[in-house]
Amino acid sequence: MILFPAIDLKDGKAVRLQQGDYDQVTQYSDDPLALARRFAEEGAQWIHIVDLDAAKAGRPVHRELIARIAREVPAKLQVGGGIRSVATAGEYIGDGVARVVVGTKATQDPEFLAALGAKFPGKIALGLDTKAGKIAVHGWTETTGLTVPEYLQSAPLAGVYCLIFTDIARDGMLSGPSIPALREVMAASELPVIASGGVSSLEDLRALVAMEDCKLLGAITGKALYEGKFTLREALKVAES
């Protein structure tokens, strides 16, 4: 299982939100580049970056910072937040980002997702974030009427590499991943799935590793790392076991 340490960007700093609430922000670093370097030095092969300001604005806000991280840090970047055009996705990929994550625009515009998959096959992750079981959009500030299985029935997934599933109620809460919800997502698609939200301990990671036969590609962890629940080296050891 691949472990993705997470860096969420807001106002040029690395922060975490509670349950996607922009009013509940904890700042963890004023130097995201140094943080990314540290993650790579400790063994991370991938880093998951979300431009929180872009998710709200609908356009890249921290593109220059992300491009610098891509150039200077020897880890692959998976980047999301505010990617709502094929051109924006292409700019990030041109900057050296290995995989872009799309959510709001992709779930609301099937033609956009199909165009992305056709132009950048294997470099697209589809972010499916749920609140009370329904897919949430626009930086988690609104919900649609669709569950993940309902959406996936008709989604154009050609060229999409993986799904990233977040149960918003778990995100930033250190309450453990929602394994039943993860299983439901895995059952609804043939694509590999990355779990995001709720990891609070090495035991949580072990529970996810035990699901690997169910197409679990990886797990994203943020707050637990920043709060010292485990070290990145410890987490990588579990993920790779």
- Catalytic residue numbers, as ranges: 8, 129
Q: Write the burial class of residue 154 (CB in 10 Å: 0-12 exposed, 13-18 middle, 19+ buried).
A: exposed
Residue pair 188/168 in contact by the 8 Å Cβ criterion: no
What is the rounded CA–CA span in Å between residue 87 and residue 193? 25
Q: Which helix (H) or strand (E) holds 235?
A: helix 232-239
Structural tokens at position 132? 């009370």
Note the helical H segments in 26-134: 32-41, 52-57, 63-72, 86-94, 104-108, 110-119
Strand 134-137, strand 76-80: pairing: unpaired
What is the rounded CA–CA span in Å between residue 204 and residue 81? 26
Q: Residue count of the chain, please give it.
A: 241
Strand 21-29, strand 13-18: pairing: antiparallel
